[in-house]
Structure 1
Amino acid sequence: MAIRYYNIKPWGRSLKEYVRMFNLTPDDLERKILGCGDGSASFNAELTEQGGNITSVDPVYIFSADQIRQRIDKTYNDIIDQTQKNQDKFIWQEIGSIEELGRIRMSAMEKFLKDFAGGVMQNRYMPGELPFLPFSDKEFDLALCSHLLFLYTENLSLEFHLKSIEELCRVSNEVRIFPLLDANADRSPYAEPIIDYLRARNRNVKEIKVAYEFQKGGNTMLRIC
């Protein structure tokens, strides 16, 4: 059975997961970071607690914490149900079951929701969306994009991906994107055309193996600088 999301879903991941998805070193975590499409991840909240310099941008941040919670509640069962029916597309080792997955994701999203109002006041959560971001050229040292580009291949066009990556490169000195798979754990058909496009424009592009794999085969990120 295929996983099919008709729109982008809130599904929170933690600082620990970001570190592994993006091969983040202690030095990386001291850089000025942009999290693009962070949604309800707790990455911003947790890194801020550790003294990090992190800004998250997502269209969902136009809403209040209560409104975001309502959206989480509305979509949670659909994500869990589709994952349940497609368990063969995932590696159930560190996360041992559907129930554990739900607990881990909800824990991250609760941390985000508790942090959100204060983070908005501090301009750590900013409404905005690709392919046009509300930031200056090279405002950030490192931009991270988790589970948006490539994952939503069925929803977002190749042109959207190209414009979005160019925009991330505009606002940041380095860009990392994870994973290179679509929602069904297949390598996105956009991966090679995008890599070729970027290299033709003299971008330094590397596909790098990372110490994280939940989707089967989803253990590489794209690094662009």
Structure 2
Amino acid sequence: MTLENVVPWGRNLEEYREMFRLSDKDLQSNILGCGDGPSSFNAEVTKLRCNVISIDPIYQFTKDEIGQRIDETSSVVIKQLQEHEDDYVWKKIKSVDALVSIRLNAMRDFLEDYEDGKKENRYIHQELPRLSFDDESFDLVLSSHFLFLYSEHLDLQFHIDAILEMCRVARQEVRIFPIYDLYNQKSQHIEAVMERLLKQGFQAKIVKTDYEFQKGANEMLKIKKRLCDISKPSKL
């Protein structure tokens, strides 16, 4: 990975709450964020004295390098948003200017927290589909705007490998948002992924969320480990 291929774009805690339907109880759990990038989620959750680790390949770079890349790419992103305004829902976020302000503030908060977070092992340079953590290291594992969104670039096998790896390190749940691709269509991989999860013994369902900015993209995939059938007598 080279920084020249990265377009940093960060989201905040309020958006994470809506995307993943995160309750206060959820935030008190041990959380892993996969592909958090320059979002302020980790910084804000840490201020609440909760536990979160974020992984992303961008964390191999320094604060100054990431900050410079944000400066280099922001104008390009703004222009793309202006050219494709009809692809988005301007309801809670009223305009391109309002969106840019939210994103830049989130990335500023990330940069202010980044060096402390690196020292505290809250920002770790890793990437799916392979994680270094032990089985069931986290209560809740999240993935925002990576899996399914880039279905044209990441094939079905990558999605299966990445999601099963997230399930491996999750004690309770995995949540993935959105399930739509870059063309505002439901991902071509979603049905096959859900079928594979069922065969592997997981419960997977699509859940409506309180967040819709990309038109139609207001659902997440929620995955739980299937509980044993308690109606069957145990063998002593």
Calculate the TM-score normalised by the size of structure 2.
0.90
Q: Are residues 184 and 84 of structure 1, via their aligned partners in 2, closer, same or farther at CA, if it must alter by over 3 Å?
A: farther
Equivalent residues in 2 for 1:27-176 (5 A)? 27-173=25-171, 174-176=173-175
Letter in 2 for 1:205: A
SS at match of 2:129: coil
Match of 2:219 in 1: 220
Q: How far 1:98 sits from its partner (Å)?
A: 0.9
Q: Distance in 1 between matches of 2:161 and 2:74?
A: 30
Which structure ranks higher in relative contact order (CA pairs < 8 Å, sequence separation ≥ 6)? 1
Q: How far 1:182 sits from its partner (Å)?
A: 1.0
SS at match of 1:215: coil
Letter in 1 for 2:112: K
Farther off after superposition, 38-47 or 61-70:
61-70
Please tell me whether Structure 1 or Structure 2 has the larger radius of gyration of its CA atoms. 2
Letter in 2 for 1:65: K
Identical aligned residues as a percent: 48
Q: How far 1:75 sits from its partner (Å)?
A: 2.3
Q: Distance in 2 between matches of 1:11 and 1:188?
A: 21
Deviations 1:164-194 (A, max 9, x none): 0011011112100000011222111111111
Unaligned runs of 5+ in 1: 1-5
Match of 1:3 in 2: none
Q: Distance in 2 between matches of 1:73 and 1:134?
A: 32
How many residues are paired up?
220
Q: Distance in 2 between matches of 1:204 and 1:8?
A: 34
SS at match of 1:114: helix
Match of 2:208 in 1: 209
SS at match of 2:46: helix
Cα root mean square deviation, aligned: 1.3
SS at match of 2:81: helix
Unaligned runs of 5+ in 2: 225-236
Q: How far 1:200 sits from its partner (Å)?
A: 2.1
Q: Distance in 2 between matches of 1:41 and 1:142?
A: 18
Deviations 1:18-70 (A, max 9, x none): 01100111110000000100000000000000111000000100111111112
